[in-house]
């Protein structure tokens, strides 16, 4: 591993550690997303407590946390496997943020942002898959799980050389959703837009 690649990996983790959801909720004077709703600092929970505009802002910022370091590494000529490590570092920062007591989100938006440099066609396929599953079944976590399961296949169709790093990142996302998978089987997972007291932890 070159010193440049190591610097980019550290940068990706530190950038990922900036919790967009917490900061945007503070600016908008909303409750801390780690303490209300699903207790998850992600766009889905922010939508529950602050509406669509706040959620979109979180989604965009979380995606950029993945896009910026991976795109930077791509232009610096870092090889595909190490680009995958950079993407994983950004997602790990989002999931276990250094600056926010290691209590982060699920990493789906950051992973999607990390996939963007591979190609807008891949990004479009992933977004279309997520939206289709979310609209039909109304489960954000199910949409995320199906999307990341299909991501390596989509990547293989478009740019096969990135299939392995994408698959590595997808395994991390699936692991982070193990509680959601359990609740989906138990039919206890809250649906998108569902608001109720004592909300179970969602994606």
What local confidence, expressed as pLDDT, does residue 38 receive? Answer: 82
Q: Please say if the pLDDT value at position 203 is more than 50.
A: no
Distance, CA of 22 to CA of 190 (rounded, Å): 21
Q: Please say if the pLDDT value at position 14 is more than 80.
A: yes
Distance, CA of 16 to CA of 28 (rounded, Å): 21
What local confidence, expressed as pLDDT, does residue 195 receive? Answer: 58
Mean pLDDT of the chain: 91
Give the HSE-up count for residue 3: Cα atoms under 13 Å, Cβ half-sphere: 0
What local confidence, expressed as pLDDT, does residue 192 receive? Answer: 79
Q: Please say if the pLDDT value at position 196 is more than 50.
A: no
Distance, CA of 1 to CA of 189 (rounded, Å): 42
Distance, CA of 21 to CA of 33 (rounded, Å): 7
Predicted confidence (pLDDT) per residue in 37-53, tens digit: 888 899 989 998 999 99
What local confidence, expressed as pLDDT, does residue 191 receive? Answer: 85
Contact 148, 173 (CB under 8 A): yes
Q: Please say if the pLDDT value at position 156 is more than 70.
A: yes
Distance, CA of 18 to CA of 21 (rounded, Å): 9
The distance in angstroms from the start CA to the end CA of the chain is 34
Model confidence band, residue 200 (pLDDT cutoffs 50, 70, 90): very low
- pLDDT, average across residues 135-150: 94
**Two structure tokens written together for 202:** 């969602």
What local confidence, expressed as pLDDT, does residue 1 receive? Answer: 78
Predicted confidence (pLDDT) per residue in 63-108, tens digit: 999 999 999 999 999 998 899 999 999 999 999 999 998 989 999 9
Q: Please say if the pLDDT value at position 134 is more than 90.
A: yes
> Which of 167, 130, 166, 155 shows the shortest CA–CA distance to 145?
130
> Which of 155, 203, 2 shows the shortest CA–CA distance to 86?
2
H-only helix segments in 118-177: 120-137, 140-158, 163-176
Distance, CA of 191 to CA of 171 (rounded, Å): 24
- pLDDT, average across residues 111-138: 93
What local confidence, expressed as pLDDT, does residue 181 receive? Answer: 94
**Two structure tokens written together for 83:** 């680009």
Distance, CA of 119 to CA of 124 (rounded, Å): 9
**Where do the structural domains in the chain lie, given as residue ranges?**
3-186
């Amino acid at each position: 591993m070159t010193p440049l690649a190591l610097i980019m990996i550290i940068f990706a983790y530190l950038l990922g550690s900036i919790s967009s959801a917490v900061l945007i909720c503070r600016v908008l004077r909303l409750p801390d997303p780690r303490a209300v709703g699903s207790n998850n600092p992600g766009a889905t929970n922010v939508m529950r407590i602050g509406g669509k505009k706040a959620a979109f802002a979180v989604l965009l910022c979380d995606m950029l946390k993945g896009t910026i370091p991976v795109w930077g590494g791509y232009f610096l000529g870092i090889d595909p496997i190490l680009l995958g490590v950079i993407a994983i570092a950004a997602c790990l920062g989002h999931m276990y943020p250094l600056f926010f007591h290691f209590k982060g989100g699920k990493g789906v938006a950051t992973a999607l942002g990390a996939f963007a440099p591979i190609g807008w066609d891949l990004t479009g396929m992933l977004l279309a898959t997520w939206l289709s599953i979310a609209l039909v079944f109304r489960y954000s976590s199910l949409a995320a799980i199906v999307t990341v399961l299909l991501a390596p296949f989509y990547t293989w169709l478009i740019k096969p050389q990135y299939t392995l790093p994408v698959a590595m990142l997808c395994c991390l996302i699936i692991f982070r959703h193990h509680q959601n998978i359990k609740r989906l089987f138990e039919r206890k997972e809250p649906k998108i837009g569902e608001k109720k007291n004592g909300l179970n932890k969602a994606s």
